[in-house]
Amino acid sequence: MENIIDLTLIQLISAYIFVLILFIIVKIKGIPREKEILVGSIRMTLQLVLVGYLLAYVFENSHVIYTVVIIIVMEIFAIINIFQRVKRDLSVDLKKVIALSLVTGTLIGQFYFVLVVLGLSPWYEPRYFITIAGMMIGNSMTGIALGVDRLVDGMYSKKHLLEGALMLGATPQMACKDIVNNSFDAAILPTLNSMVGMGIVFLPGMMTGQILSGISPLIAIEYQIAIMLGIVGCVSLTVFIFVQLAYKTFFNKYSQLIS
């Protein structure tokens, strides 16, 4: 642990050269992304600094209320982020399904992981619960956002096929089967690709951070395997709940497609 490199302010500032390189490239190419790069860099820095101080306080003053409040805030921001990332207008019912799916799936995943996999006591220990929750909520948020895009696009682009199937006597579940399956597949694909390339193509951020902090690579690998499996399960469960409920919001109580 005594060999940990503690970055000075100058060293940390020097890392922003990578952002400057990106800024110069888009400027030369005439790509209008300068404002987003600048805002993104500043926003990322401020958010991480604030979170760092907040977590330092919470870790030193562990309490169930702190953990619960932080998890609630993370869930709310994840839901809002999904709404903002989807370009199409979403119905109120579909927004409710998104919120319900994300909260239900991620909470089940989090509690199973900390209680069964880690055997954590007390369960609300913020150093573990909040960190794991962040990874599960973040990945599930991305999964649902992709699933929403694919589902909504499918329901609109294949509207005539759905109406034809309904006219021939198919139930909404039967008519939407391919759209639902494609949405689920698109939503979990990034997580599966990440799992396949892990260890050979790249070292995940959590594992890299642990190794840089002085933890044995073997211990870091144990945690990374467990957490990656937890993320895969959490994303799969969250997206499954979403697609199974979301397609129903496109039909009325008479099983008719809502225009």
Burial class (CB in 10 A: 0-12, 13-18, 19+), 37: middle
- pTM summary value: 0.84
Alpha carbon 242 to chain centroid, angstroms = 14
Q: Count CA atoms within 13 Å of residue 39 on its CB side.
A: 4
Instruction: Give the dihedral of Cα atoms 29, 30, 36, 39; nearest 10 deg.
Output: 90
Q: How wide is the angle at C-alpha 232 spanned by C-alphas 73 and 145, nearest 5°?
A: 55
Q: Is the peptide bond before 126 cis (omega within 30 degrees of 0)?
A: no
Query: Which residues, 6 or more positions from 162, have their beta carbon under 8 angstroms from its beta carbon?
Result: 155, 175, 176, 257
DSSP assigned state of 124: T
The helices-and-strands tally (H runs, E runs) of the chain is 11, 0
203 vs 96, higher pLDDT: 96
Q: What is the pLDDT of residue 53?
A: 93
pLDDT above 90 (res 253): no
Q: What is the pLDDT of residue 202?
A: 62
Q: What is the pLDDT of residue 96?
A: 96
Mean per-residue pLDDT for 85-105? Answer: 92
First-to-final CA distance of the chain: 62
**pLDDT over 70, % of the chain:** 93
pLDDT tier for residue 222 given thresholds of 50, 70 and 90: confident
pLDDT tier for residue 205 given thresholds of 50, 70 and 90: low
pLDDT above 70 (res 142): yes
Q: What is the pLDDT of residue 145?
A: 94
pLDDT tier for residue 71 given thresholds of 50, 70 and 90: very high
Tell me the CA distances in angstroms from 186 to 74, 146, 148, 195, one per residue in order. 24, 7, 10, 15
151 vs 2, higher pLDDT: 151
